[in-house]
Amino acid sequence: MAKFTRIAVANRGEVAVRIIKACEELGIETVLLHSEADINSRAYRMATKTMCIGPAATAESYLNIKANIDGALAGGAQAVHPGFGFLSENADFAEAVTKAGLVFIGPSADSIRSLGDKVHCKELAKKAGLPLVPGYQGENQDVVHLITQAEKIGFPVIVKAAAGGGGRGMKLIKSSAEAGELIESAQREAASAFGSPKVFLEKYLDRAKHIEFQVFGDSTGNVQHFFDRECSVQRRHQKIIEEATSPSLTEDLRRRMGEAACAIATLGNYKGAGTVEFLLQDGEFYLLEVNTRLQVEHPVTEEVLGVDLVKMQILTAQGEFVHDPKTIRIPRGHSIECRIYAENPYLGGVPSTGLLGKVQWPEGPRRRYEYGFDEGDTITPYYDPMIAKVIVWDENRPRAIQKMIKVLQDSVVFGVHTNIPYLIEILSHKEFVMGTMTTRFIETYFSEPIKEPALSELDKKIADGALAHLRGAGSDQGTVSQSPWTSYWRGI
């Protein structure tokens, strides 16, 4: 296969920037497929070429298959990288890209259908003898039938969208009395977010850890794993902090889970980057799902193994990347990633939008920042509120935690609130420090908004000065949707 000279990036924000950087290192031009709302974003400024594919509404732009393909063709691309989210796990999109004569940078449409559908994936895993959480994955979607199945499984039970991910269409059911309403709600949300109302049920494991394995299928179909990440710190089923490797695994458990991850990926004829997710409780692990795409948290794997997964994806799509059996990858040190969201930590995480007046990420060894916004950009209400990822590496886990806290303390974001204070409190909690946190960690210890610290007189004077400066700088930036300056002066 000929080498790509231009790749279309069918995404936005920090992942679009990440893909563009990888393409630049490989000498490949990019065409950014963006919405009207993302004109003047960092990725927009970095891409070789840009193509507007529709208005801000995702259904009319980033989720519009025809608009993306038309944009890629018009931009002169030979391949499409979907990033994560949006159409990245959409088999119809992968198929349409291929039919249009373009290369989809990711697994085949058949692999996405086989592993990306949560129900089909579990059926495949069951045939392979992999351990599964007790549940119901049947075709009968009648609410009364699903309630009966939930009662057989035993409460608490989780209802999940079969085609879902990222916590969308997921509800925790604690009793029969609330089951009907929550199942119907999950079906509606699944239909809206993923185009299918199909759901399935699982026994809720209340002391589980979330462990996942990075897998990668090379150009020849050979699948290897790139070790594990722990993602137990979750809020409303969405990850906040991830680390590699997990502090919870023995070497024997790591070996057995890695073998299981490769087995399910091999069954799905997997090619490219993917993630096999497990729940771990009382020394036993259970297959949760397979994500047929690049993960948000892929940098921590890259940091402990010294690999570039996005470049590997591109080379694999070109037919170039093959696993070298002589190369033994051994994780070194420890890496932690924190997701920086534009939200108010003192009001329970309500979104915070507006103009980014000042952004400063502190430089230093083995610190990595992935972000999609620069000073002067606007955080809009249209998309996911994640504005950046902060990744650190150090010789061991205690040092990595200490480094992350220091980096977050020294980070400055003017203009919108961020969850940075919230992250610092989580990282400082004794259960996180000990590595014993479970998926109920946030629910148990951080269910209430954190307390806002009082500002000193000096802070207030600095805030007044910064506010005056930004008001002047922002006078030609258009209308700011929400001013954060009434009581706060920075996001940390």
Report how far residue 221's alpha carbon sits from residue 252's, in angstroms, rounded to the nearest whole number.
26
Q: Is 332 a catalytic residue?
A: no
C-alpha to C-alpha distance for 209 and 289, rounded to whole angstroms: 14
Catalytic residue among 293, 339, 367, 490: 293
* DSSP-assigned beta bridge partners for residue 9: 32, 81
Residue 491, amino acid: G
What are the residues facing 370 on neighbouring strands? 389
- Residue of 39, 64, 63, 66 lying closest to 51 (CA atoms): 39
Tokens 């969201």 locate to 341
Among 422, 428, 283, 247, residue whose Cα is nearest residue 344: 422
Is it true that the peptide bond before 365 is cis, omega within 30 degrees of 0?
no
Residue position matching structure tokens 């249209």 = 382
Cα 235 to Cα 270, 320, 339, 385, 401, distances in angstroms? 30, 39, 12, 14, 20
Q: What type of residue is 237?
A: H
User: Do residues 10 and 80 make contact, with C-beta atoms less than 8 angstroms apart?
Assistant: yes
Beta-carbon-side half-sphere exposure of residue 218 (alpha carbons within 13 Å): 12
Rounded (to 5) percent helix, strand, coil in the chain: 35, 25, 40
Q: Compute the distance between CA of residue 163 and CA of residue 197 in angstroms, rounded to an integer.
A: 9
Q: Which residues form the catalytic set?
A: 293
